[in-house]
Amino acid sequence: MTGAAGVARAGFGRLCGLMGALVLGACTISVAPPAPEVLPELAETPLPPMAQFGPPQPEASRRSNNEIALDFLDLSFALESGAELERFTRFEQPVSVALSGQISPHMDHELDRLLTRLRNEAGIDIRRVPDGAPAKIKVEGISRAQLERVVPEAACFVLPAQVSWDEFRKNTRRRDLAWSGVARREAATVFLPVDVAPQEIRDCLHEEIAQALGPLNDLYRLEDSIFNDDNLHSVLTGFDMLMLRATYDPRLENGMSRVQAGAVLPSILAGLNPDGASIPTRAYGPSPRPWREAISRALAPAGGLSGRRAAAERALAIAQDEGWQETRLGLSLFTAGRLAAPRDGEFALETFLAAGEIYSRRSATQIHAAHVSMQIAAFALAAGEYQVAMEIAERYVPVAKRAENAALLSDLLFVRAAAQENTGQSAAAAASLRQGMAWGRFGFRDGAEIRQRASEIAVIASGEFTEGPGT
């Protein structure tokens, strides 16, 4: 057995064998507990320089080209709203990109890094032009408060036109801002907040520029893509780059119908992804609308907790009725567990372990398993199972680093530090804490948030909490 569940169940059964102890700790766990005071020793700990990711390490897609062709069509010929698109669209190359509005150093650096990847991995002729200059894709930085006043449900978004924030704010219903009316992509504007964590800026650049260039839809069934509303992948994956490379293949043309695009996709994918010809095609049923609505409601940050819990329970019931054994069941289990913890710690742990088993089966979902394992590690710390927590951290720190998720990487390092501190490894704990803070400078908004995260995990490990790990 692999993954978090395997680590948890190794030896004498550790986490499962200590279910009773864990549930005792979990009974008072809150989804959004009041944050404890920052521990004095952490308040005085100086923050190290920000850690930076090295060269990207995307994993090539390991799925059948038949599956990938269907994914391409479903991503390119529909919107997230469910509306179908009659024609294929893309930019004519070369594609120019410019920054405008409020520009942060992180925004500047991450855009350059992204464009390099798009040229090297997707083969797109895309270049920056001077800030504020005319460009096919404009990226305008605004404040989080500005964004929330106008589009409170969005972390960032892209529109198919050249438009300033002030122009959009004055008339959000302009007809030229609808993707359904686009016959050929000639312009796009990305709006993103700059007063957020560097990781959030980076993630927005990846998702919105990729959408400006290519797929307009999101699909919950995708295990290996940022074009999935589960938000478990942070940066463009090997699959995403394959989608973009196919989008700009000369055999596809603006205005093609779904049938026309489908006719040329097999030859395109055969050339771009030859290994996909020999991989068996898995059967994928559609995601029923009731499940999509339920999981979206459960994942939405706004809204009452009781309503989100009920939605998560509905989504899980539908997923089980459908007989799914892939990412959609994993997401249903993970979401139900996170929202159930205040009322039912045993159910929460069981769902985390079940989700971990599903996610650990495939290399493409190791980052999903890492997210689930962080929750399991918190339970282990609460039960005093420090060796289990350390094993989980050791397994998934490299996974989080490869996926470039600094926030998760930081949390896992804080888990390791807390476990080491409680097993008499003070020097190792100090080193893990410092590493976690270095990655936290990229993953979180500021030093206060970094110290808060480290304190919460240390308090959980101390066994002196009354409310514990949440979502």
The pLDDT of 231-256, averaged and rounded, is: 97
Distances (CA, A) of 191 to 146, 160, 212: 10, 12, 12
CA distance 100 to 67: 39
What pTM was computed for the model? 0.91
C-beta of residue 381 within 8 angstroms of C-beta of residue 458:
no
Average pLDDT of every residue of the chain: 90
The pLDDT of 373-378, averaged and rounded, is: 94
Strands 188-193 and 157-159: antiparallel
Collapse the DSSP code of 222 into the 3-class scheme (helix H, G, I; strand E, B; otherwise coil) and give the result.
Answer: coil
Nearest to 371 by CA among 328, 416, 344, 409: 409
Q: What are the DSSP calls for 263-321, one per residue?
A: HHHHHHHHHH-GGGGSSPPPP-----HHHHHHHHHHH-SSS-HHHHHHHHHHHHHHHHH
The pLDDT of 410-430, averaged and rounded, is: 97
C-beta of residue 340 within 8 angstroms of C-beta of residue 348:
yes
For residues 25 and 38, the model is more confident at 38
When pLDDT is cut at 50, 70 and 90, the band that residue 342 belongs to is low
Q: Is the pLDDT of residue 322 over 70?
A: yes
C-beta of residue 119 within 8 angstroms of C-beta of residue 89:
no
Element (H, E) at 192: strand 188-193
Identify the pLDDT of residue 464: 65
Q: Is the pLDDT of residue 176 over 90?
A: no
Span 290-299, pLDDT tens digits: 999 999 999 9
Q: Is the pLDDT of residue 31 over 60?
A: no
When pLDDT is cut at 50, 70 and 90, the band that residue 38 belongs to is confident
The pLDDT of 133-162, averaged and rounded, is: 96
Q: Is the pLDDT of residue 157 over 80?
A: yes
Identify the pLDDT of residue 327: 95
Q: Is the pLDDT of residue 47 over 60?
A: yes
% of the chain at pLDDT higher than 70: 90
Collapse the DSSP code of 159 into the 3-class scheme (helix H, G, I; strand E, B; otherwise coil) and give the result.
Answer: strand
Which domains does the chain carry? 3-53+285-462 (1.25.40.10), 65-277 (3.40.390.10)
Identify the pLDDT of residue 362: 93
Span 192-209, pLDDT tens digits: 999 999 999 999 999 999
C-beta of residue 136 within 8 angstroms of C-beta of residue 188:
yes
The pLDDT of 44-49, averaged and rounded, is: 91
The pLDDT of 33-59, averaged and rounded, is: 84
Check residue 215 and give left, alpha or beta (phi > 0: left; psi -120 to 50: alpha): beta
Collapse the DSSP code of 190 into the 3-class scheme (helix H, G, I; strand E, B; otherwise coil) and give the result.
Answer: strand
Span 84-105, pLDDT tens digits: 999 999 999 999 999 999 999 9
For residues 8 and 158, the model is more confident at 158
